[in-house]
C-alpha cells in the first residue's frame, strides 16, 4: 500500500480498485455478525471454500466475509452477488447445491429463500424481503457488500470522499455549521445535538482537545453499534476524523468492550490500514491536518459507558461518573475539552458532509433527523438490526419489519432503552420513533434497544429485572442510586413473590422520585424509569399482584392465575 498525499491520488486509487473488479463476477457474502457465527456460519463458510476448491472455481467466484447483514433471526445469512440473492438459515449441506444452482447456474433455490409466513410469498433477493425492504439502510446497508478488514472495499463504496471534501473544500467552521444545520442528535441515549457539543469543545479554552468514540454499547438488548462498527469500521473512523478536524482535535480515542475480540480486531486493522494510506496520522491526504487514534478497552462494567466514567477509565482510573458540574466537552480527559459521541453518531457524519445538511434534514421529523439503528429483539418474529428514518411509527417496526408477534400471541408493550428506559403499551403503538415523542411518554429511545413484549411477560417482573441488573451495575458511589435501587428492588421482589402490601406503590414512587432527583449521574437518575413507566401504563398489573396476589401474565411463579399466593409445599 502506498501513502496517499492528495485528493487526486485518492481518486486515482479508487479508480484503480474499481477497475480491478469485474462487475459480472459472482461473489458470495457471508454474514460474519456474532448472531450468524453463533448459528454456525463458520461451518457454512468452510463448506463454501471447500466446494469452490473442489470445483476449481477460485478464479471465477469471490468469497467475502462481511459484517452483520441485519436479519439475525434467520441466520446464517448468505448473499450471492451481483444478483443479491439472499439465502437464509443456510447449512453446510446446502452449499454444493447453492454453488451448482445459483452461483454457476444462476437459478434461485426456492427452499432457501425467505417465505412470508402469512402470505406464503417468496422473496429471493435481499431487497425484496420485507424485513429489509421496509427499512432505509443508509448506515448499515453497506454491511453485506464490505469486507470490514479491507479498506479497499470501503474505498470502492466511495469511502473517505467525505473526509477529502471536508479537508480540502471546507473550513472547520463550515463542517461544524453543516452538522449543526443537519441537526444531528446524539445516538447514544441523550439525543443531545452533536453540533452544539462539537461547538462547545471547539470553543473551550486550551490547545489540546480530544474526540472519542463511545463504542461501549452496554445497554442490554442493544447490538446495533457493534454490528455497524464491526461491519464497517472505516465509516465510523471517517466520521471521527472529520469531527476532529471541525473541533480542532489531534488525538482521538475509541473506547470499546474487552469482550468483543472481533470488533477489536476489525478496529485495529482499520486503524492500521488508514494509517498506511495516510488517512490517519501526520499530514492527512497532504492537508496538513494531523490526527491519531488510540483504542481503549473497558473492564466489563455497565457504567463505564457513561461519558465522564468512560473518560476516567481512559485516564486509567476506576470508571466512576465524575461528580463535577462541568461538561466533559469543556473539561474531560485530563481536564482537556473532550467531545464524546457514540458509534452511530460518528457514522452519520460522512453522509452529512457528502450529501449536505439540507438532504439530511429532509429525513425524519421536525426535531429528529436522519435514520436510526434499532436492535429489535424480544417477542417479535424477525429479530435483528434495523434502520429506519426517525419518525417511523413503532407499529411499522414491530409489524412491517418485525413481522409481528410469534405464536399467535398478542403484543403487550415495547420497551426502549433497557434498564434506564421505559415501556409503552400496545395502545401507543402508532407513536413515531422520535427522541422527544418517546421521552415525553416516559420511554426515552436510549441507544436504540427495542424490546417487544407479548402478553406472557409480567410488567412488574420486567421492572424488577431491570433493577436487579442495575443493583449490580451502578458504581455504588452515591446514596440515592445505590440505596434507592437496593430498596426498590427489595420491594418489587416482594411484590412478585405475592408478599406485596398496601402502601408499597407509594413507597416505590417516593424512592423513585428521590433517586431520580438526587442521584449523581444519568444512570441513577434514569434507574427508576422502567418502574415509573410500567406503573404509569400497567398499574392494574401492580395492583393485581399486591391486592389479589395474582399475576395476570401468569409469569410470576409464586403467584397463581386466579389469585392468592401458592402455598409452600
Partner 1 sequence: MSEIIIQIDGRDVAAREGMTILEAAQTAGITIPTLCHHEKLEPYGACRICTVEIENRGRTRLVAACLYPVEKDLVVRTRSEKVDRIRKVILELLLAHAPEATELQVLAKEYGADKDRFEKESSFCILCGLCVRYCAEVKKKHAVGFVDRGTGREISFIPEIASRECWNCKECFPLCPTEALQAAYVLTEALISSSPSFKLEAEE
Shortest spacing between CB 185 and partner 1, in angstroms: 21
Nearer to partner 1 among residue 200 and residue 262 (C-beta): 200
Shortest spacing between CB 303 and partner 1, in angstroms: 8
Supply 216's cell numbers: 461501549
Nearer to partner 1 among residue 100 and residue 479 (C-beta): 479
Shortest spacing between CB 328 and partner 1, in angstroms: 15
Nearer to partner 1 among residue 2 and residue 325 (C-beta): 325
C-beta of residue 109 within 8 angstroms of C-beta of residue 89: no
Residue-wise burial string across 456-485, b where 16 or more C-beta atoms lie within 10 A, e elsewhere: ebbbbbbbbbbbbbbbebbbebbebbbebb
Shortest spacing between CB 309 and partner 1, in angstroms: 11
For Cα atoms 233, 236, 238, give the angle at the middle one, nearest 5 degrees: 105
Distances (CA, A) of 282 to 2, 3, 274, 287: 15, 11, 12, 9
C-beta of residue 90 within 8 angstroms of C-beta of residue 112: yes
Shortest spacing between CB 25 and partner 1, in angstroms: 53
Shortest spacing between CB 384 and partner 1, in angstroms: 31
Strands 338-342 vs 371-378: parallel, antiparallel or unpaired:
unpaired
Helices and strands counted in the chain (H then E): 23, 15
The rounded distance, in Å, linking the Cα atoms of 280 and 250 is: 10
Residue 185, SS3 per DSSP = strand
Nearer to partner 1 among residue 39 and residue 511 (C-beta): 511
Shortest spacing between CB 184 and partner 1, in angstroms: 25
C-beta of residue 551 within 8 angstroms of C-beta of residue 540: no
For 315-353, give the secondary structure using H, E and C: CCCCCCCCCCCCCCCCCCHHHCCEEEEEHHHHHHHHHHH
Nearer to partner 1 among residue 367 and residue 525 (C-beta): 525
Nearer to partner 1 among residue 264 and residue 312 (C-beta): 312
Nearer to partner 1 among residue 43 and residue 477 (C-beta): 477
Nearer to partner 1 among residue 456 and residue 510 (C-beta): 510
Nearer to partner 1 among residue 325 and residue 502 (C-beta): 325
The rounded distance, in Å, linking the Cα atoms of 533 and 409 is: 22
Shortest spacing between CB 296 and partner 1, in angstroms: 19
Supply 242's cell numbers: 472529520
Shortest spacing between CB 487 and partner 1, in angstroms: 5
Nearer to partner 1 among residue 385 and residue 471 (C-beta): 471
- For 137, phi then psi, to 5°, come to -100, 70
Q: Which residues lie near partner 1 (CB under 8 A)?
A: 301, 303, 318, 323-325, 470-480, 482-487, 489-490, 510-511, 513-514, 517-520
Nearer to partner 1 among residue 487 and residue 555 (C-beta): 487
Shortest spacing between CB 124 and partner 1, in angstroms: 50
- Residue 451: which H helix or E strand, with range? strand 449-454
For Cα atoms 88, 94, 97, give the angle at the middle one, nearest 5 degrees: 115
For 388-441, give the secondary structure using H, E and C: EECCCEHHHHHHHHCCCCHHHCCEEEEEECHHHCEEEEHHHCCCECCHHHHHHC
Shortest spacing between CB 483 and partner 1, in angstroms: 4
Amino acid at each position: 500500500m502506498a501513502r496517499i498525499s492528495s485528493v487526486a491520488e485518492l481518486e486515482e486509487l479508487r479508480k484503480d480498485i474499481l477497475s480491478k473488479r469485474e462487475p459480472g463476477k459472482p461473489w458470495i457474502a457471508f454474514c460474519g455478525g456474532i448472531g450468524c457465527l453463533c448459528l454456525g456460519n463458520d461451518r457454512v463458510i468452510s463448506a463454501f471454500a471447500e466446494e469452490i476448491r473442489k470445483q476449481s472455481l477460485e478464479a471465477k467466484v469471490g468469497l467475502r466475509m462481511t459484517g452483520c447483514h441485519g436479519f439475525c433471526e434467520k441466520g446464517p445469512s448468505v448473499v450471492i452477488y451481483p444478483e443479491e440473492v439472499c439465502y437464509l438459515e443456510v447449512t453446510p449441506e446446502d452449499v454444493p447445491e447453492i454453488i451448482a444452482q445459483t452461483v454457476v447456474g444462476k437459478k434461485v433455490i426456492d427452499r432457501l429463500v425467505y417465505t412470508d409466513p402469512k402470505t406464503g410469498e417468496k422473496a429471493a433477493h435481499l431487497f425484496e424481503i420485507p424485513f429489509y425492504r421496509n427499512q432505509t439502510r443508509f448506515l448499515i446497508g453497506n454491511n453485506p457488500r464490505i469486507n470490514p478488514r479491507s479498506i479497499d472495499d470501503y474505498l470502492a463504496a466511495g469511502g473517505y470522499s467525505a473526509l477529502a471534501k471536508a479537508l480540502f473544500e471546507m473550513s472547520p467552521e463550515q463542517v461544524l455549521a453543516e452538522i449543526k444545520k443537519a441537526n444531528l442528535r446524539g445516538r447514544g441515549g441523550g439525543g443531545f445535538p452533536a453540533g452544539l457539543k462539537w461547538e462547545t469543545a471547539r470553543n473551550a479554552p486550551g490547545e489540546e482537545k480530544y474526540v472519542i468514540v463511545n463504542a461501549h454499547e452496554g445497554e442490554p438488548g442493544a447490538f446495533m453499534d457493534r454490528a455497524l462498527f464491526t461491519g464497517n469500521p472505516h465509516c465510523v473512523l471517517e466520521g471521527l476524523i472529520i469531527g476532529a478536524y471541525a473541533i480542532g482535535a489531534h488525538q482521538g480515542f475509541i473506547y470499546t468492550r474487552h469482550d468483543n475480540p472481533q470488533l477489536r480486531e476489525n478496529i485495529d486493522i482499520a486503524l492500521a490500514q488508514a494509517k498506511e494510506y495516510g488517512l490517519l496520522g501526520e499530514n492527512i491526504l497532504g492537508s496538513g491536518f494531523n490526527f491519531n487514534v488510540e483504542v481503549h478497552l473497558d473492564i466489563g462494567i455497565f457504567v463505564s459507558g457513561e461519558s465522564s466514567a468512560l473518560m476516567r477509565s481512559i485516564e486509567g482510573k476506576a470508571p466512576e461518573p465524575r461528580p463535577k458540574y462541568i461538561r466533559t466537552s469543556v473539561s474531560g480527559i485530563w481536564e482537556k475539552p473532550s467531545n464524546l459521541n457514540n458509534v452511530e453518531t460518528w457514522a452519520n457524519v460522512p453522509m452529512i458532509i457528502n450529501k449536505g445538511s439540507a438532504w439530511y434534514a429532509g429525513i425524519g421529523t421536525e426535531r429528529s433527523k436522519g435514520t436510526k439503528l434499532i436492535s429489535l429483539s424480544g417477542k417479535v418474529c424477525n429479530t435483528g438490526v434495523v434502520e429506519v428514518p426517525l419518525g417511523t411509527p413503532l407499529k411499522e417496526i414491530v409489524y412491517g419489519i418485525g413481522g409481528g408477534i410469534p405464536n399467535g400471541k398478542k403484543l403487550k408493550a415495547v420497551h426502549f432503552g433497557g434498564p434506564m428506559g421505559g415501556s409503552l403499551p400496545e395502545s401507543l403503538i402508532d407513536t413515531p420513533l422520535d427522541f422527544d415523542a418517546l421521552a415525553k411518554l416516559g420511554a426515552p429511545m436510549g441507544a436504540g434497544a427495542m424490546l417487544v413484549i407479548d402478553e406472557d411477560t409480567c410488567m412488574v417482573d420486567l421492572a424488577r429485572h431491570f433493577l436487579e441488573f442495575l443493583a449490580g451495575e451502578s458504581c455504588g458511589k452515591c446514596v440515592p442510586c445505590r440505596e434507592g435501587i437496593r430498596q426498590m428492588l427489595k420491594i418489587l421482589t416482594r411484590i412478585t413473590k405475592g408478599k406485596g402490601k398496601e402502601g408499597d406503590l407509594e413507597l416505590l414512587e417516593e424512592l423513585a422520585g428521590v433517586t431520580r432527583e438526587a442521584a449523581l449521574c444519568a444512570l441513577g437518575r434514569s434507574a427508576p424509569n422502567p418502574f415509573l413507566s410500567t406503573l404509569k401504563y400497567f398499574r392494574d398489573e401492580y395492583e393485581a399482584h399486591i391486592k389479589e396476589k395474582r399475576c395476570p401474565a401468569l409469569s410470576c411463579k409464586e403467584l397463581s392465575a386466579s389469585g392468592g399466593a401458592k402455598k409452600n409445599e
